[in-house]
Amino acid sequence: MNVFNSLTRRNGELAPLSDNTVRMYTCGPTVYNFAHIGNFRAYTFEDILRRVIQFNGFKVKQVMNLTDVDDKTIRGANAAGVALTDYTKTYKDAFFADLKALNIQPAEVYPAATDHIPEMIALVEKLVEKGVAYKAPDGSVYFSVRKFPGYGKLAHIDFDHQQTGARCAADEYDKENVGDFALWKAWEESDGPVGWDSPWGRGRPGWHIECSAMSMKYLGETFDLHTGGIDNLFPHHENEIAQAEAATGKEFVRTWMHCAHLRVNGEKMSKSAGNFFTLRDLLAKGWTGREIRYVLVNAHYRQGLNFAFSALEDARKSLERIDRCVDALAEKAAGAAPAAEAPAFAAKALEDFTAAVNDDLNTPKAFAALFELVRESNSALASLQPGQAAAVLEVFRRMDSVLGVVFFGKAAKAEVPAEIQALLDERAAARAAKNWAESDRLRDAIAAAGWVVKDSKQGQSVSKK
């Protein structure tokens, strides 16, 4: 499996350091608001990544942090007049519901920053002991970027043109303003009740130290893979490297991967620009999580993706095409065991699919292989034996273990309660007899029980309202 490593700026083999498990850290949400679909572009990219790793037979240990203390969460909680933990809980809960709605596999660990303050203080103490961090007159502790020779290696910063000695307390800044960054921020009036005692007085951790401390706690001092959106690369990830490597003297992370932004009219989708849709906005407009996931994972993760409603419409049509094919295959297979060998066209499609995902997660090519399978299946359908149809379905399943869009939501079908199934059977009989009034009456009865019937050429399907 080959991926593009932002550190070396080259494609390289991704293989775990130990026990067949890829240890992976992904920068998670700042829980001060609902995540927007730009954020979910990053989380779906990471989901595809972990699924491709598993597709290749490795295990994954993924850690995703929840930033529940920073400038934005504190501002939000204090403005709302509620405790920080109460304020962030709403958005943590919403985030997990959204992940589910997008069929994103859960990470193994979701550490919250506020549960790891002692680990962060210990790391800052270590950096102070080593002489790479110092307490400034304002009571905050800063990392001295000049003391870490490797500073700039991820973002490829030309240091000769940088001014030195400046200090930056904000969590985010640009390459033109490189300066010493805050590891620990002294308490200020605007922090209100938020703060922890430390060897440097009351205060709170900087955003960057949070990820270094929690990643090393759960994944070790050197681990395989670290990911995020491209905006995380500098300064956040650069600072994470500096903090971790200055403290341990060891390589922090072997492979770094970053996804390009989701844009709107050519501009990065972001809260501050106000050009965003939350997942909830789109669900309320009648789009499904499955359709939104399809749009997000369809583009190559390193290519910019412009959000447009026409892409959702295309996704809806493409998914209907996939559904028709898969339903027809299922009908043909009629519960038969898969044949030992899949038809040649299916084996070829799987081979192309595998090559695509192992070539730096080339999802556009992977989808092309999936649609090749749809096309070939449709034309071969009449001549397929049930066992062969079942074998083709297995290939769809294998592809979908990575894409997560083909069978997404279909499980509900298998869980249709007996009484609903009885109504469905009655309705199928009514329709066969062209008794449309009875068919409509049964549809209403099914709806009253909380289920929605959809009719297609392959017959009726049902899903929960």
41 versus 254: smaller Cβ distance to ligand AMP? 41
Task: Provide, rounded to whole angstroms, the least separation between the CB of residue 101 and ligand AMP.
Answer: 17
Identity at 185, one-letter amino acid code: K
Q: Which two tokens stand for residue 62?
A: 């993924």
Chosen residue from 213, 269, 295, 420 binding ligand AMP by CB under 6 A = 269
**Stretch binding ligand AMP (CB under 6 A), from 116-124, 183-191, 225-233, 240-248:** 225-233
Task: Provide, rounded to whole angstroms, the least separation between the CB of residue 175 and ligand AMP.
Answer: 16
30 versus 318: smaller Cβ distance to ligand AMP? 30
Q: Which two tokens stand for residue 94?
A: 């919403």
Task: Provide, rounded to whole angstroms, the least separation between the CB of residue 68 and Zn ion.
Answer: 13
Does the footprint of ligand AMP cover residue 206 (CB under 6 A)? no
Chosen residue from 228, 235, 338, 343 binding ligand AMP by CB under 6 A = 228
Binding residues vs Zn ion (CB under 5 A): 27, 211
Residues near 112 by beta carbon (within 8 Å), at least 6 away in sequence = 65, 66, 68, 92
Task: Provide, rounded to whole angstroms, the least separation between the CB of residue 69 and ligand AMP.
Answer: 13
172 versus 351: smaller Cβ distance to Zn ion? 172
Q: Where are the alpha helices (DSSP H) in 249-308?
A: 279-284, 289-298
Considering CB under 6 A, how many residues would be counted as binding ligand AMP? 17
Cis peptide, bond prior to residue 235, ω within 30 of zero: yes
41 versus 50: smaller Cβ distance to ligand AMP? 41
Maximum separation of any 2 CA atoms in the chain, in Å: 86
229 versus 404: smaller Cβ distance to Zn ion? 229
| Cα–Cα distances in angstroms (integers) from residue 70 to residues 5, 117, 181, 282, 341, in the given order | 29, 13, 14, 28, 55
Task: Provide, rounded to whole angstroms, the least separation between the CB of residue 136 and ligand AMP.
Answer: 25
Choose the one of Zn ion, ligand AMP, none that binds residue 211, judging by a C-beta under 5 to 8 angstroms depending on kind. Zn ion
DSSP labels for 321-345?
HHHHHHHHHHHHHTTPPPPSS--HH
Chosen residue from 108, 221, 231, 323 binding ligand AMP by CB under 6 A = 231
Does the footprint of ligand AMP cover residue 261 (CB under 6 A)? yes
Task: Provide, rounded to whole angstroms, the least separation between the CB of residue 162 and ligand AMP.
Answer: 24
| The CA-based dihedral angle spanning residues 215, 216, 217, 219, taken in that order and rounded to the nearest 10 degrees | 80
Strands 133-135 and 262-264: unpaired
Task: Provide, rounded to whole angstroms, the least separation between the CB of residue 394 and ligand AMP.
Answer: 34
**71 with 35: CB under 8 angstroms?**
no
Compute and round to an integer the Cα radius of gyration of the chain: 26
Task: Provide, rounded to whole angstroms, the least separation between the CB of residue 257 and ligand AMP.
Answer: 11
- Phi, psi torsion values for 339, nearest 5 degrees: -60, 150
**Stretch binding ligand AMP (CB under 6 A), from 24-32, 249-257, 282-290, 390-398:** 24-32
Q: Which two tokens stand for residue 254?
A: 């072997």
How many alpha carbons fall within 13 Å on the CB side of residue 24?
29
211 versus 333: smaller Cβ distance to Zn ion? 211
Choose the one of ligand AMP, Zn ion, none that binds residue 204, judging by a C-beta under 5 to 8 angstroms depending on kind. none
Residue with tokens 């403290």: 247
Site residues for ligand AMP, window 28-47 (CB under 6 A)? Answer: 29-30, 38-39, 41-42
**Stretch binding ligand AMP (CB under 6 A), from 27-35, 109-117, 391-399, 417-425:** 27-35
DSSP-based three-state secondary structure for 9: coil
**265 with 306: CB under 8 angstroms?**
yes
Does the footprint of ligand AMP cover residue 268 (CB under 6 A)? yes
279 versus 424: smaller Cβ distance to ligand AMP? 279
269 versus 356: smaller Cβ distance to ligand AMP? 269
Q: Strands of 203-296 (E only): list them.
A: 203-205, 223-229, 253-259, 262-264, 267-268
**268 with 284: CB under 8 angstroms?**
no
Q: What count of other Cβ atoms lies within 10 Å of the Cβ of residue 332?
A: 19
Does the footprint of ligand AMP cover residue 300 (CB under 6 A)? no
Q: Which two tokens stand for residue 58?
A: 């490795």
118 versus 364: smaller Cβ distance to ligand AMP? 364
Q: Which residues bind ligand AMP (CB under 6 A)?
A: 27, 29-30, 38-39, 41-42, 228-229, 231-232, 259, 261-262, 268-270
